Amino acid sequence: MDRSLDTFIKEIAELLGTTLQMRGADIASLIERPQKANQGDYALPCFFLGKEQGRNPVEIARELADQLAPAGSIEKIAAAGPYLNFFVNRIAFVGRAIGAVIKTGATYGHSTVGAGQTLVLDYSSPNIAKPFGIGHLRSTVIGHAIKKLHDALGYKTIGINHLGDWGTQFGSMIVAYKKWSDKPAEELTVSELVALYVKFHAESEADPALQDAARAAFKKLEEGDPEHVALWERFKADSLKEFDRIYDMLGVHIDVASGESFFNDKMGGTIKRLKAAGLATESEGALIVDLEGHGMPPCLLLKSDGATLYATRDLAAAEYRYQTYKFDRMVYVHGQEQKLHFKQVFKVLELLDREWAHGLVHAEFGHYRFKDAKMSTRKGKTILLEEVLNKAIELAEKIVTEKNPDLEDKTNVCRAVGIGAIIFADLSNRRKRDVEFDWDRILSFEGETGPYLQYAHVRVCSIERKWGKPIGPDTNLELLTEEAEFQLAKKLADFPPTIRRAAEQYEPSLVSTYLLEVAREFSSYYEAHRVLNEAAPDLTAARLTLVAAVRQTLANGLRLLGIEPLSEM
């Protein structure tokens, strides 16, 4: 947890400093947050003192509790076994925590720790001429969230959609088209393209000659054969149109769309440099970088027919991007199956003495698993992302019609609820884990879901709408004396460190989990405490400020995840 901003920890450290004869920062790093409310607000585990002094930590904690006098915002110091527990002045805590949210508003949780640093993100990266399946949701939404998290921390970020628009697969497409389709290329739909792709893989299993033909066709494409290039451009244009529609639905806009083909004329230079550095060697007819000394299989640069490979394109892309953006870090949001690939690419760049190679990160993620059959694009078994999104929107419509039939902005609300549900369902899983794909679960709107967060946000908006007046600046937050109000304020104060941790670890799920906790505590508070009370205007104003802080935190968090907060649903 990030302690630098916590003024209470600072106070505790100062209190302890003289007695323990330690530096404040060292003490601060030892302070913990107890799990249970009755254990105090902060705690110092005394085991390390016991060890140092060869004494029982329980005794030490008791002694310290006797010696130390509460001061400032620290109201009570008590020993509980080997722990020294600190209780803060709740009024002070609530005031500071809520004040911080209200003061910073839409930038609550943001900071400038990343100022002056550039972060390049490579994410989404769907393959041209393949359907945009549910599998590509992960890279897209995780990458988008990681980008937003870093934006919030002051980094300059550049998102790159490294489209899979080059490689042997396009040889397959061209062969399949020529062999089985009699339609002019410009009339082909994406689903017909996919059908060709599937057919190619089915047939090529029985007839390996097809694969040779595909490789030859890609070689020709790479050499610039006009007929092949024209077909490829046709396939690509159709796919891009389809992708754009899906990105619009998701609300994701990636700064730069440069496919692998963009590096077609840049790979030669990379290979030249690798040869000059003595790294590229020939082996079994192919050009490789031998990585045996680094415990890895060789990195393949050129196939024996001279055509390029995935690694060749990533190497050229990395060099080009460094030249262009001078990034401090570049994060690849790609599946965990590519781990070795990136390890190899990073190592080769390191061997080429590219200092910046140390700033390269593979933020890998696990995949959707399917209960029954194994999904495979090649076999034509896939769940289309668009289908999932549309089902979610339909379901949202059904529920809205039932619960709030007079809603004005129904189309937009249903879209935001449905899409938000899908995005949140994905982002609530820890990045590295595989996730079970389950229609019931991904389309659930109850419990730990996107709609649950939306609902909590909507409820606050509804309270504010009903009140209808602005809250005065002289609100007396000292009236927020309920236990639940203190706990809620504590939870809100955790938002900034959560964002930092999520960005550091490239782990949006930390934000998801956190937001669920905020919404849960708020919902519980909402049931038990009425906000609007004409008979008690001061208390009403104080509670309105508290729930406004909750709304702001939820809204900021949802936006970081790429979900649009709603005021009605």
Q: Which of 54, 447, 468, 473 binds RNA (CB under 7 A)?
A: 447
Contact between 285 and RNA per CB under 7 A: yes
State the Cα–Cα distance between residues 456 and 452, nearest whole angstrom.
Answer: 6
Beta strands 435-437; 368-370: pairing state = parallel
Which 176-215 positions form the footprint of RNA (CB under 7 A)? 211, 215
Least distance to RNA, CB of residue 116, Å:
25
Interface stretch with RNA, choices 143-151, 293-301, 352-360, 383-391 (CB under 7 A): 293-301
Interface stretch with RNA, choices 43-51, 114-122, 190-198, 380-388 (CB under 7 A): 43-51
Interface stretch with RNA, choices 147-155, 164-172, 325-333, 353-361 (CB under 7 A): 164-172
Of 308, 300, 268, 309, give the one whose Cα is nearest residue 282: 300
Q: Which of 405, 527, 534, 535 binds RNA (CB under 7 A)?
A: 527
Contact 475, 549 (CB under 8 A): no
Residue for token pair 């937050």:
477
Least distance to RNA, CB of residue 554, Å:
13
Q: Which of 191, 462, 476, 481 binds RNA (CB under 7 A)?
A: 462
State the Cα–Cα distance between residues 449 and 467, nearest whole angstrom.
Answer: 28
Which 87-126 positions form the footprint of RNA (CB under 7 A)? none
Contact between 394 and RNA per CB under 7 A: no
Distances (CA, A) of 513 to 443, 477, 488: 18, 28, 15
Query: Please, which residues have CB within 8 angstroms of residue 519's CB and are 6 or more apart in sequence?
Result: 452, 453, 455, 456, 554
Q: Which of 15, 16, 43, 120 binds RNA (CB under 7 A)?
A: 43
Instruction: Report the SS3 class of residue 124.
Output: coil
Contact between 239 and RNA per CB under 7 A: no
Which 493-512 positions form the footprint of RNA (CB under 7 A)? 509-510
Q: What is the 3-state secondary structure (H, E, C) of 239-257?
A: HHHHHHHHHHHHCCCCCEE
Contact between 374 and RNA per CB under 7 A: yes
What track of x and - describes contact with RNA for positions 349 through 368 (by CB under 7 A)?
-----------------xx-
Q: Which of 206, 209, 373, 528 binds RNA (CB under 7 A)?
A: 528
Q: Which of 155, 322, 327, 445 binds RNA (CB under 7 A)?
A: 445
Interface stretch with RNA, choices 18-26, 112-120, 173-181, 521-529 (CB under 7 A): 521-529
Contact between 455 and RNA per CB under 7 A: yes
Query: Across the strands, what pairs with 384?
Result: 133
Task: Please identify, using beta-carbon distances, which residue of 157 and 475 lies nearer to RNA.
Answer: 475
Contact between 51 and RNA per CB under 7 A: yes
Rounded to 5 degrees, what are φ and ψ at 403? Answer: -95, -30
Kindly report the length of the chain: 569
Contact between 148 and RNA per CB under 7 A: no
Contact 556, 105 (CB under 8 A): no
Contact between 466 and RNA per CB under 7 A: yes
Task: Please identify, using beta-carbon distances, which residue of 183 and 339 lies nearer to RNA.
Answer: 339
Interface stretch with RNA, choices 10-18, 146-154, 400-408, 550-558 (CB under 7 A): 400-408
Q: What is the 3-state secondary structure (H, E, C) of 350-401?
A: HHCCCHHHHHEEECCECCEEECCCCCEHHHCECCEHHHHHHHHHHHHHHHHH
Which 245-274 positions form the footprint of RNA (CB under 7 A)? 260
Of 93, 61, 91, 87, give the one whose Cα is nearest residue 74: 87
Contact between 469 and RNA per CB under 7 A: no
Q: Which of 372, 408, 446, 474 binds RNA (CB under 7 A)?
A: 446
Give residue 415's Cα distance to chain centre.
21
The count of residues interacting with RNA (CB under 7 A) is 106
Rounded to 5 degrees, what are φ and ψ at 368? Answer: -70, 135
Task: Give rounded-to-5 percent helix, strand, coil for the chain.
Answer: 60, 10, 30
Of 146, 130, 68, 92, give the one whose Cα is nearest residue 478: 92
Q: Which of 220, 266, 294, 303 binds RNA (CB under 7 A)?
A: 303
DSSP count for the chain of H helices, then E strands = 21, 13
Contact between 523 and RNA per CB under 7 A: yes
Interface stretch with RNA, choices 33-41, 99-107, 229-237, 321-329 (CB under 7 A): 33-41
Q: Which of 6, 64, 82, 93 binds RNA (CB under 7 A)?
A: 82
The tokens describing 347, both together, are 């190592």
Interface stretch with RNA, choices 11-19, 229-237, 281-289, 321-329 (CB under 7 A): 281-289
Contact between 24 and RNA per CB under 7 A: no
Of 453, 396, 375, 486, give the one whose Cα is nearest residue 95: 486
Q: Which of 115, 202, 340, 536 binds RNA (CB under 7 A)?
A: 340
Task: Please identify, using beta-carbon distances, which residue of 17 and 118 lies nearer to RNA.
Answer: 17
